[in-house]
Amino acid sequence: MLEVKQISVSYGLAPALWEVSLSVRDGKIVAIVGSNGAGKSTLMKAISGLIHPGEGTIEFDQRRIDHLPPHQVARMGIAHVPEGRRIFPHLTVIENLKMGVLPIKGQKRAQEILNNVFNLFPILAERQRQLGGTLSGGQQQMLAIGRGLMSDPKILLLDEPSLGLAPIIVDMVFEVITRLNSQGQTILLVEQNAFLSLEVAQYAYVLEVGRIVLEGEATKLIDDPHIKKAYLGE
């Protein structure tokens, strides 16, 4: 479904990604594990069109998307939930969710998805009229994911969904990720928390200083000695 082939990205003279390739197949959760500054967010931004790779191609459903602007990438079915949640602070919860709806989807479908989002996150239904900026961190993360889902995406890009959240909320977010996937949602997950993401993902890539150094089935990577040493603290 999503094919990233040999992309390189640099900010000015500093290379951020170096010949990175990865593929995400329909219905899977794929995780990208790596420490701070490894280039994970850069990779996400390249996929969603916020930055354009200097070399390499990105294909989505057999169409090249690496030179499209973000709004066109979004309309093709890629929802990027960026790091830091990026809730519109002065819009209400329901207005934030409405911003996620693509005009091409139609009213009826939008209502169905909204019900599904409220089902996943009942707290959002309760706080519909509250301003986004006044929600707690965990609620904002739920809103950010919910807003991403409102476009009925073919693939959901989640960038650091556990960042800055209390452990109990992190568990809840990951439960939702698993649940979404069991409903058929394809997810590309970027996380510093390697253990959690390898637990929910089927396949994973390890990114270190801008290069993919390791990839494989998530269950196998959990037992890999390098991973254990570098990311799981064992």
Partner 1 sequence: MLIDGLLIGGLIIVVGIGFSLCFGVMHIVDFAVGEWVMLGAYTGFILVRYFGHDPMIYLPLVFLIFCALGWAIYPLIYRAVSGKRHNPVLMGLVFTFGLSILAKGGALSVWGYHIQSITTWLSGKSLALGPLTIPALRFSGFLFGILITLLLMLFLYKTRLGITIRATAQDREMANLLGTDVRKVGALVYSLYAGVTGMSGILIGALFSIHAAMGVKYCTLAFFVVVLAGMGYVPGVIIAGLILGLLQSFVGVYIGGRYNLVALFMVMYGVLLITPKGILRRGI
Binding residues for partner 1 (CB under 8 A)? 48, 50, 69-71, 74-75, 79-80, 82, 86, 88-91, 95-96, 98-100, 102-103, 147, 151
Between residues 112 and 175, which has the closer beta carbon with respect to partner 1?
112
In the complex, what is the shortest distance from the CB of residue 112 to partner 1, in angstroms, rounded to a whole number?
A: 18
Q: How far is the CB of 70 from partner 1 (least distance, A)?
A: 4
Q: How many Cα neighbours within 13 Å face the side chain of 116? A: 19
- For residue 121, which of 69, 61, 161, 164 has the smallest C-alpha distance? 161
- CA 29 to CA 106: how far, in whole Å? 28
Cα 191 to chain centroid distance, Å, stands at 9
Nearer to partner 1, 49 or 53 (CB): 49
Q: Which is nearer to partner 1, 151 or 186 (CB)?
A: 151
Beta bridge partners of 217: 203
Question: Nearer to partner 1 by C-beta: 189 or 212?
Answer: 189
The nearest distance, CB 189 to partner 1, in angstroms, is 17
Shortest reach from residue 147's CB to partner 1, in Å: 7
Q: Least separation, in Å, of the C-beta of 209 and partner 1?
A: 25
Is the Cβ of residue 97 or residue 169 nearer to partner 1 in the bound state? Answer: 97
